[in-house]
Copies of this chain bind each other. A is one copy, B any other.
């Protein structure tokens, strides 16, 4: 492994790259809760780095609460669920890239059609307007993690159809066309959903987080209606609350 690899426009320090490798092995099930991860000595040997670099890589994961150190015994896995923050408005794609994972999508449906009455009301558009409807399965390293149904009004993102929605992020695209999402209302449920489980090819007993989100531009115009199902066995969500 080179000392530095190029990643987007940024160069990533090697201790971060190693922490990403370890994190991925925790989230893909290679290490389970309570398992011991490689020692600093083993990291030094495997990656050919200094002991300080190995230590920094592990400290990254300790700071995230993913692993904990037991003096004289080693470093152990605390949790194996991906953690996403509810304090930020972010999309699946950018969140996963951020922590060094490899997200992708499969588009099950993409069409332009007239809005329903409910969509007219929620998106503040008229019946003569058109909306894009999209259904996507979201993957990390080919493992299905979630399912999303998205409605976007055509007049705000007319070129949505030309975006490669299997690889690109809607939220990044909105930033690029100078229409970043400013705020959102979101409702969360914990549900069992046989139909979604079947789409993902997973057991029907796995609970989902269900999110019903409406997102707005800076000028208050609604830009998306998003229904998301994310696997409860794969994700947890954090929030900082203040009075």
Residues of A that sit less than 8 Å from B by CB: 81, 83, 86-89, 180-192, 205, 207-209, 232, 236-243
Contacts and interface: CB of A to CB of B under 8 A. Distances in A.
Contact of A241 (B186, B207, B238, B241): B186
B89 A86 contact: no
Nearest to A186: B239
B239 A239 contact: yes
Given A192-B205, A207-B207, A236-B188, A88 B241 contact: yes
A207 B241 CA distance: 24
Contacts of A185: 238-241
B189 A89 contact: no
Contacts of A242: 89, 182-184
Given A86-B86, A192-B205, A205-B192, A187 B236 contact: yes
A69 to B, nearest CB: 12
